[in-house]
Amino acid sequence: MRKSNRLGAQELYALLLITVSSLVYFSTPRYFFLIAGNAAWLALSIAISVSLICIFIVNLLLKRRPGQNLISLNTQILGTWLGNVVNMLLVGHYVVTGALIIRLFGEAIVLTSLRSLPVSVIMITSVLFGLYGCYKGWNVIAKSCWISLPFIALSVFIPLVLAWTYWEPSYLLPFFGKGVDDTLFGGVFAAGVMGDIILTALLANAVQPQVNLMKVSISAMIVTGLIFMLVVVANSMVNSYPVAAYITIPYFSLARTLSFGRFLERLESVIFIIWVFAALLKIAVMIGTGIYVYKQIFNIADTKPLLLPYGAILMTTAIMPKSFPVVDKWSWIYMRSFGFVITLILPTLIALIGLIKLRGKQEVKAQP
Amino acid sequence: MKGRFALLTLLLLGVNLLSGCAGIGEIDETAFVFTITFDKGEKAPYQIGTRIPVPRLLGRIQGQLAFSGDGQEPYINTQVQTHSLAEALVMTQLFTGREVSLDHARTIIISEDLARESIEDVCQPLLRGLEIRGTTLLYISRGNAFRFINENKPLLEVNTSKFIELVSREQNVHGLTTAMPLNLFYSTLATEGAAVIPLAAINETVLAAAKAKEREPTALTKDEQADREAKAEMSEEQAEETGEKPPLRSVGSYLPGSIPRSGGNPIDFIGLAVFRNDKMVGVLDGNSALVYNMLRNNFHRTIISVKMPRHPDETVSLLLYKGRPPRIRVEDAGTRYKISVELVIDCDMETVSTGDRIRSVESLRDLETAVEKQLQQWVETTISMTQEWGADIFGFGNRLRSAFLTWDEWTRFNWSEAYKHAEVSVVITANLRRTGLIIGTY
Amino acid sequence: MSVLKFLKNLLQYQPPKDDVFILEEGTWAQEAERAGEIPPTEQKAAAGSVAPRTEQGGDTGAAPGAYNKTDTPEDAEATTAPQPTAQREKRPERTLRKPVPISEKLTGESPEDRIAANLDANRSTLERLFHKPQNTDLVIRDFTLQATGQCGLLVYIEGIVNSDRLSYSVLQPLMLLGKARDTQLAPYVIETVEEHLMPVHQVAIIETWAEVIQNLVDGLALLFVDGDARALAIEARNFPSRAIGRAEVETVVQGPQEAFSENKRVNVSLVRNYLRNKDLITESVDIGSGNSAFVLYIAGVANQKLVDEVRRRLSSLEGSFLREPGHIEQMIEDHPNSLYPQTLTTERPDRVAIHLMQGKIAVILDGSPFALIVPITFFTLIKTPEDSYLRPAFGTLLRIVRVAAIFVAYLLPGIYLAIVEHHHAILPSDLLLAIAGSREGVPFPCWLEVVMMEVSFEVIREAGIRVPGVIGPTLGIVSALVLGQAAVAAAVASPILIIIVATTALAAFAIPNYQLQFSTRIIRFLYIAIGYALGLYGIVLGLAVQIFYTTSITSFGVGYLSPVAPSTKTDLDIVFRSPLWLHETRPDYLQSPDRVKKPRISRGWMQEDNHEKK
């Protein structure tokens, strides 16, 4: 990691946006159909609001303690032992989600375009790529995110909007989908899908001091929510509920349905390129975050020796599940249970405790 | 350390990349299927036919060298009997010598008798596989589907894939059929319980004339003979179905295979096959297809002919185009549901036979009324036919979704049954906008 | 607790010192912030290593010492904790004794290194130093000084001095002027000659043999006078040089046509022609082996830190033949192993002037018609001077074409191979048939075909450059015929592939920077390999690695993709160009002390117009 440069507001924004929203390219949007039937968009909006509330509370704490991140705050608020246990939970979370994402990514590539390739090839190359990104440091990853942001935004909006000829708005009804309880509670737990937004809190000390974290993270979250919403809504209008719930990669199949005349038909290849790019960036971020948290817990100056072992751990974890449906199922179960608790509920609770503890005390000046 | 790391990375990458090369299928070692046909099989559930272009011949036609003219057909049509498409590909591969790929399958043609049994088993495996795209066009062939592709010899195109794309786009011009991609069909069927697929058939008279012209011994096989007889019967039946024969027969009143013509490609694309819950339940002629397009807001323009209001023996041809999107309301009227349809259609005059004197704006109003009457009749008959089948192909049921709060309630409500007894009211407004370059007749 | 601490100490080893020069990046606001409270660098350290170590305090001694002894003194100072006892004194560095060339040897303080007062001794020393009997170039001219009657020697190297000047401006006054035999002047003869008898614009008094050698090989003439232990160096340089010619490499349609020549003095004057500015500094920096480079910058516009860094890097160079910008470039780049050029080599004085005005630094060398400009960004390489001479829309169009060309040049064959091998579904059916049809009968697999054609194209290009000018066109025709027509006719290559390769080659030529062209030529083969192995996924993977790499490298401390990532405040002049009158500030990434390039309203007539209306 370069010593002088910290992340600017734009780079952080791009990093957050791509990290959270690139889940849209995997089978994630499907889960909302499983939860709430054709009211997937309702469940999704609940999930978005839950994660917005969580990130708002965490940011309140970060504002009180500038120059510190969630990891150091955990130890300060909960004490060294308990705080580090929570931090280790975060590391574990990033190992698991990183592995899941890598596997899902590999499977998605094999499913959508490279049938003849063994999935391990794609997984190894993507892990190596992620390690390369970590070797170069946060700055490089964030800058690359910023460069690729316009292309990725374009690729998200083009297929969804171009599919409007197939839109049938009445497919969004009946309003409550599978029922009020399912939609509401399912929606709350599904906020785990957006859990990666906690990256703001983890990177808070790697950001330039004048960046308004609250503004950046909330706006990134809202835009991410819009992207998710667009994909889910478009999907439920084009494919309709019972079909949409069983399409493995909804975004890709949506892109495949596009056809404008005889030439603008095979657009999915262009979108595929950008899709893979966003997913690769996400993998780099997932690996980087895990190592970053680990590094800070044990106060390691140089992370480079950690890279290969960490990659090996991810790879072995990722290769363990037997098949794609197993990975898919587990990623869903994990995201709405452990992922939800570790990335959203725990930090929010700690932030609340911290806010109460800090009440009345003088604001702590940032450590240099 | 750095060097060792780099070496390790390179090694890992190298091993990986090499294994990546293993499953590569070169473009000139692959046979691309353009058309797939499904027929009922004798030894197995299906007879699956494929049409594979010969790139050596087709590619060169488009390239610099002319068709070498060694007499070989530019397409290979093959048929195998098996129980699934994947098996069929393997079987085809056994004698093709190349890897058979469905990446470029543009059309799927299903024979009518298979469709009348069940289409679910045909459709779902298609969607699951990666190779077939959702945009693949579906057609129902009256009679044998494999025979249909054998006889399909487009005259203007060399590429049948392009031909079928153009055919599917033509519905924008005449509206007498529709284009139904696989994914749209499947999702409509799954959501609404009813859907349509365009109809196609061999025009036997044209084919026979062409065969006679070739001066070949017109020894029809038993299959063909039977097919032809069935055809003839069918068209007679159809005539009975549509009720009393109108003295003026519009283009849309024909079913594929019975259009009176000669010369050209001996196949017709007109009309729709109606599906209800994975079974084909009936056929609609071109006019009903027009109604379908209008009610689905998929209508662009068409040409119809109406009798002159004051001179019943003369006709006027009018260009119809979309005025406004259709307004459809479905209401719960106590015991039964009430469907009200409002259509606004614009029209231009195309050809007018002499005799009538169209000079005043009032006489134009008469024409409009004639168009309205004609359309009204078509809409009403079409809807009542679908009501008989219980197949709501127009998506009327979607209007009722807002009345339900949850998915369970909605699925418990049996719309297709209610649709059978629904009351339909149709209001058509036709506006004659232009009369062409000559504003009146003498 | 102690387990944690043990692990902490175990893993806490000092990374190698990251000795990278970084020109600070950031927006204006950040700059203000920095000026106020935050030290400019070392912010990252706050993340982990420094702060927690203070808690640790003096316990360090108990931990395994092996990991602590690498602590550098600076780090120890940074912590407030007592210093670890195990700290070792820093050992003095061992200096390596290297054989020193004779010219340097002579600069020592011993008396024999100085010029002798005896003319004969000087003559024999000169003859020894310049291998006189064998080397015929050294000319030693004896004469008698008219003014004092002393004997004198005029020494020079034949061919690189202006003999007319020596005859008329040097020998003539010395031999003819002055009162005869004025012996009083004898002790001050050199000064007298310098002040009264030498109508030459530049002279200097020198005292050591090292200077003598340096001046003689530089083309100066030397005057020795009997009885004086000094010599007078007389400017009489006349190295053969080319006239100022037209720009050959960076041609433009509209704009100045002149280019640098091989004389660095002339080159500097060409730049001064564009920049009539008192602050334009031409600094001479010794780059070893008697060569020196001119470093050009505008004081108060270029960042002083940057100037110091360039000077530091240049003056540290040692090498036998550093005469070309190409040599210097390789020696001073941040990332010499990178495939991207990190300096801009240009032959156009107007381009140098434009960059100097932005706050960049130019290096001009003797003997090369090219100047080096540092620092640059990737976007500098896709610009040509012509872009700014044309209206913004035209300039923008040109650059969009170039950006597209860059992508094509890098990716097209790779993407073609990826699609043909892996993604048949992407092609429209007609195109698929055309490709498949044209591949029928080609005996090679696709990848071999691509590699073969690419290699043969490289051969054509190399042959085209090396071939004598007269048969150049013939070569073009032959290669086009052989590779295009015959290869297709013989079914060795498919026509579609020929189109692909030709388009790629054209695209590479559309890149304005010669060195960037090279990078496309090498990286293209990597894309071919990875596209073949992993299809489009591989292409994207490669692209992502390339983007990571590009964002990570720097040119003299400036991020390579600078105005975009890291995003800094800048005028719109990256790919899209705003009108000229909106270019008000210098690029933020150059950290120029004088940010504002011109006033807000640079089209005064617009303002006057408004006044009149009112």
What tens digit of pLDDT does each residue of A244-275 get? 788 888 888 887 777 766 666 677 777 788 88
Q: Smallest Cα–Cα separation from C525: which of C547, C501, C548, C503?
A: C501
Whole-angstrom distance, CA of residue C328 vs CA of residue C335:
13
- Is residue B279 scored above 60 in pLDDT? yes
Residue in B closest to A128 by C-alpha: B9
| Domain boundaries, given as residue ranges, for chain C | 2-78, 103-234, 264-376, 395-559
Block residue for tokens 């060309």: C405
Gap between the Cα atoms of C187 and C453, Å rounded: 78
Decide if A2 contacts A137 (C-beta within 8 A): yes
Q: Which residue of C has its CA nearest to B102?
A: C425
Residue B319 pLDDT exceeds 90: no
The rounded distance, in Å, linking the Cα atoms of B255 and A312 is 65
Percent of chain B with pLDDT over 90: 0
Contact (Cβ atoms closer than 8 angstroms) between residue C179 and residue C120: no
Q: Which chains touch C (3 or more CB pairs under 8 A)?
A: A, B
Give percent above pLDDT 70 in chain A. Answer: 94
Distances (CA, A) of A261 to A98, A258, B165: 40, 10, 9
Residue type present at position A66: P
Integer Cα distance of C47 and C51 in angstroms: 8
DSSP H or E segment with residue C586: none
Give pLDDT, residue B388: 86
CA distance A9 to A12: 5
Please state the rounded mean pLDDT for residues B256-266: 82
Of A238-242, B25-29, C47-51, C153-157, the poorest mean pLDDT is in C47-51
> Chains with 3 or more CB pairs closer than 8 angstroms to A?
B, C
Place of tokens 């061992």: C94
Q: How confident is the model at residue C295 (pLDDT cuts 50, 70, 90)?
A: very high
Predicted confidence (pLDDT) per residue in A150-199, tens digit: 888 887 777 777 777 778 888 887 877 787 888 888 888 888 888 888 88
Q: Does the structure show a pLDDT above 50 at C230?
A: yes
Other C-beta atoms closer than 10 Å to the C-beta of C325 total: 23
pLDDT of residue C75: 41
Radius of gyration of chain B (CA): 26
Interface probe for A, chosen from C71, C540, C550 (most Cβ of A below 10 Å), is C540
Give the model's pLDDT for residue B137: 87
Residue C456 has a pLDDT of 86
Distance CA C122, CA B253 (A): 121
Residues 2-41 of B with CB under 8 A from C: 16-18, 20-21, 24-28, 30, 32, 34
Say if residue C566 is preceded by a cis peptide, omega within 30 of 0: yes
Domain count, chain A: 1
Residue C51: per-residue pLDDT: 36
pLDDT of residue A362: 53
Of B45-49, B92-96, B171-175, B231-235, which range is least confident? B231-235
User: What whole-number distance in Å separates Cα of residue A323 and Cα of residue A103?
Assistant: 10
CA proximity to C341, closest of C606, C581, C550, C82: C550
Q: Closest residue of A to B106, CA-based?
A: A262
| pLDDT score for C36 | 47
pLDDT value at C464 more than 60: yes
Looking at the predicted structure, is the pLDDT value of residue C37 above 50?
A: no
Q: In this structure, is residue A357 part of a structural domain?
A: no
Confidence of residue C21 (pLDDT cuts 50, 70, 90): low
The range of the structural domain enclosing residue A201 comes to 9-340
Q: What is the mean pLDDT of residues A305-314?
A: 88
Please check whether residue A285 is in contact with residue A199, taking contact to mean a CB–CB distance below 8 angstroms.
yes
Q: What are phi and psi of C521, to 5 degrees?
A: -65, -35
Non-local CB neighbours of B372 within 8 Å, separated by 6+ positions: B428, B429, B430
- Quote the crossing angle between the two packed helices A80-112 and A346-358, to the nearest 10°: 150
State the helix-helix crossing angle for C514-552 and C392-421, rounded to 10 degrees: 80
Cβ distance of C420 and B26 shorter than 8 Å: yes
- What pLDDT, on a 0 to 100 scale, did the predictor assign at position C447? 86
The answer on pLDDT for B129 being more than 50 is yes
Interval B332-361: pLDDT, tens = 877 888 888 898 988 888 776 655 556 667
For the segment C387-438, what is each residue's pLDDT rounded down to a tens digit?
888 888 898 999 999 999 999 999 999 999 988 888 888 888 888 888 888 8
Contact B407 A174 (CB under 8 A): yes
**Rounded distance between C-alpha atoms, residue A309 and residue A315, angstroms:** 10
Q: Are C431 and C407 in contact (CB under 8 A)?
A: no
What the block records as the tokens of B342 is 């409002």
The pair phi, psi for residue B73, each rounded to 5°, is -65, 140
**CB-neighbour burial class of residue C77 (10 A; exposed 0-12, middle 13-18, buried 19+):** exposed
CB–CB of C421 and B161 under 8 A? no
Q: Residue C420 is nearest to which of B27, B101, B161, comparing CB atoms? A: B27
What pLDDT score was predicted for residue B215?
53
Whether A365 has a pLDDT exceeding 70, the answer reads no
User: What are the start-end ranges of the E strands in C347-483?
Assistant: 361-365, 371-374
More confident residue, B225 or A6: A6
Report percent pLDDT > 90 for chain C. Answer: 9
Contacts of B32 in chain C (CB under 8 A): 424, 429, 432, 436
Q: Is the per-residue pLDDT at C128 higher than 70?
A: yes
Using the CB atoms, write b or e for A219-248: b if 16+ within 10 Å. Answer: ebbebbbebbbbbbbbbbbbbbbebbbebb
Amino acid identity, residue B158? V
The closest of B53, B133, B119, B122 to B85, measured between CA atoms, is: B122
Q: Say what the alpha-carbon torsion angle C201, C207, C210, C216 is, to the nearest 10 degrees.
A: 30
Displacement of CA C536 from its chain's centroid (Å): 37
> CB distance A143–C51 less than 8 Å?
no
Q: What is the pLDDT of residues C205-226, one digit of tens each?
A: 888 888 888 888 888 888 888 8
Mean pLDDT of chain A: 83
C96 class by beta-carbon count within 10 Å (0-12 exposed, 13-18 middle, 19+ buried)? exposed
Q: What is the DSSP string of C274-333?
A: H---TTEEEEEEE-STT-EEEEEEETTTS-HHHHHHHHHHHHT---S---SHHHHHHHH-
Report pLDDT for C297: 92
Q: Mind listing the pLDDT tens digit for each residue in A102-132?
A: 998 888 888 887 877 888 888 888 998 999 8
Peptide bond into A174 cis (omega under 30): yes
pLDDT at C185: 64
B touches which chains (3+ CB pairs under 8 A)?
Answer: A, C
Return the structure tokens found at C328.
């210097």
Task: Give residue C528's pLDDT.
Answer: 92
Instruction: Out of C536, C564, C566, name the one closest to residue A5 (CB).
Output: C566
Task: Label residue B438 by pLDDT band (50, 70, 90).
Answer: low
Closest-CA distance, B104 to chain C, in angstroms, reads 6
Picking from A205, A275, A302 by the largest number of C CB atoms within 10 A of its own CB, the best residue to mutate is A302
When the pLDDT of each residue in chain B is averaged and rounded to a whole number, the result is: 78
Answer whether the bond into residue C375 is a cis peptide, omega within 30°.
yes
Phi-psi region of B20 (alpha: psi -120 to 50; beta: other; left: phi over 0): alpha
Q: In the structure, what pLDDT confidence band is assigned to residue C373 with cuts at 50, 70 and 90?
A: very high
Separation of alpha carbons B419 and B391, rounded Å: 8
- Give the pLDDT of residue C406: 93
HSE-CB for B69 with a 13 A CA cutoff: 2
Mean pLDDT across C49-74: 37
- pLDDT tens digits for C473-490? 777 777 776 777 777 777
Q: What angle do CA A27, A28, A34 make, to 5 degrees?
A: 95
| Dihedral Cα B320, B325, B331, B333, nearest 10 deg | -20
pLDDT tens per residue across span C438-451: 887 788 888 888 99
pLDDT-derived band of residue C236, with 50, 70 and 90 as boundaries? confident
All domains of chain B, ordered by start, with CATH?
A: 29-285 (no CATH), 300-442 (3.30.300.210)
In a domain, A189, yes or no: yes
Do the chains contact at A280 and C541, CB–CB below 8 Å?
yes
Q: How far is CA A42 from each of CA A32, A160, A233, C416, C472, rounded to the nearest angstrom?
A: 9, 18, 10, 43, 71
Please write the tens of the pLDDT for every residue from C546-589: 999 998 888 888 888 888 877 777 777 788 888 888 888 888 88
* Residue B176 neighbours by CB under 8 Å, 6+ apart: B251, B252, B270, B271, B286, B287, B289, B290, B302
How many CA within 13 A on the CB side of residue A297? Answer: 21
ipTM for this prediction: 0.90
Q: Which residues contact A125 (CB under 8 A, 6 or more apart)?
A: B13, B16, C534, C538, C541
Cβ contact C493:C452 at 8 Å: yes
The answer on pLDDT for C195 being more than 60 is: yes
CB pairs under 8 A between B and C: 87
pLDDT in tens, B59-114: 654 444 444 555 667 888 888 888 888 888 888 888 888 888 888 888 889 888 88
pLDDT score recorded for residue B400:
84
The single residue listed with the structure tokens 């008000």 is: C584
Lowest mean pLDDT among A31-40, B222-231, B431-440, C133-142: B222-231
Mean pLDDT of B149-166: 82
Per-residue burial over B157-170, b if 16 or more Cβ lie within 10 Å, else e, is bbbbbbbbbebbee
Phi and psi torsions of B128, nearest 5°: -70, -40
- Which pLDDT score is estimated for B238? 55
| Cα angle: A136, vertex A139, A142; to 5 degrees | 110
Give pLDDT tens digits for C585-613.
888 888 888 888 777 777 778 776 665 55
Q: At A227, which CATH number?
A: 1.20.1740.10
